[in-house]
Homo-oligomer: A and B are copies of this chain.
Amino acid sequence: MTDVVQDRKAGRPRLTDVAEIAGVSMKTVSNVINGYQHVAPRTRERVLAAVEEVGYRPNLSARNLARGRSGVIALVVPQLEMPYFSALAGRVIERAEARGWFVLIHETGGVLAAERAALEGSFPQRIDGLIVSARRLSVDDLQVRKDHTPLVLLGEHGYGEAAHHVAIDNVAAARTAVDHLLGLGCRRVAMIGGDPDDTGDPRMRGYVEALEHAGIGVDRNLMRRITTNSGEEGERATRDLLAQAAEPPDGVFAVTDWVALGAIRALHLAGLHVPGDVAVVGFDDIPYGRAVTPSLTTISPDRTAIAELALGMLEAQLSGGTLADPVDQNVPFHLVVRESTAGIGSAPGESQEPVA
């Protein structure tokens, strides 16, 4: 209460203050602030001048209470510390701010139970929308969902008709990566992290397509499954491959940059030179990739586009009200060529390292 009183004294301007100065009712001020049509231009100007004069900023708690919303959307990711997700989170926060939304970041550790719980709105507070980057969630989980909070899924795997989804075209991206290796003259291209038996794995499909298009048969001995997208698993799988293959690969496509980092490690330990003996391409464009030796060639998804599109889809669900059929949207990506395929010191222009 004391706070409130002091607040008044300090004169944090309210809607009524603006209305009084502009000589109009609260309703009109509200109309102007919320950008509704049908406000006389002159009135609008007077209101905006008053807003400016007192430095008015709406009290979001009051607005949300009146609107029956919380003003909070949740971004659910496996682990914020993973650079791919923190970079994504930065962009989501940025674009959400423009809409007056807070972003509640929630970590699942990539655990299925936690991902399911997020889907059912198990948050300490009410949320208006949900953006989920899931690792284990299946179409089934979405179909049995009871909660109706607007939802958009991110990530490699699509969910068909079960949910809205935003991602790069992973098949095309993987194919671009492998085409790059083939263009360098590689003929024995390994894939670390691809499951040859999972035809639903888009990166695996892109790998296969690229090879077939180049008239190179797929050699299962050059493919290795992994259990998690970690550096350790990448290293283990690559070591395994080197131990079993009759001849080492001359190119490696890794499903993520982390895995690529592990693969490079295994190659080094086996006495192979990157990219001299083996060229390596990763996926995600995490900042580590620029800091290591050799720096990492990778697929860079347009994270800003992912964030903007996901938020737009949430907004549409919130306002439209129509339960339009789930949409699967693609965003751009590009190949970033660095030393792991082009050679040490070959990419002097690549210097967008974080400022820290």
Contacts and interface: CB of A to CB of B under 8 A. Distances in A.
Interface string A132-158: 000100000000000000000000000
A145 to B, nearest CB: 15
A356 B258 CA distance: 9
Contact of A356 (B79, B264, B292, B344): B79
A244 to B, nearest CB: 21
Interface stretch (A30-38, A170-178, A223-231): A223-231
A64 B67 contact: no
Contacts of A82: 287, 354, 356
A57 interface: yes
User: Within the oligomer, what is the number of copies of this chain?
Assistant: 2
A78 B3 contact: no
A159 interface: no
Contacts of A104: 93, 102
Contacts of A97: 124
Given A110-B356, A124-B57, A126-B12, A232 B351 contact: yes
Contacts of A69: 3, 61
Shortest 4 CB-CB contacts between residues of A and residues of B = A86-B86, A231-B291, A4-B68, A61-B64
19 contacts: A1-B68, A58-B125, A60-B70, A61-B65, A61-B71, A72-B102, A86-B86, A90-B107, A97-B124, A100-B124, A100-B125, A110-B355, A230-B353, A231-B353, A261-B291, A262-B291, A264-B293, A265-B293, A288-B292
Interface of A: 1-4, 7, 12, 57-62, 64-65, 67-72, 78-87, 89-90, 93, 97, 100, 102-105, 107, 109-110, 124-126, 135, 228-232, 256, 258, 261-262, 264-265, 268-269, 287-288, 290-293, 321, 344, 351, 353-356
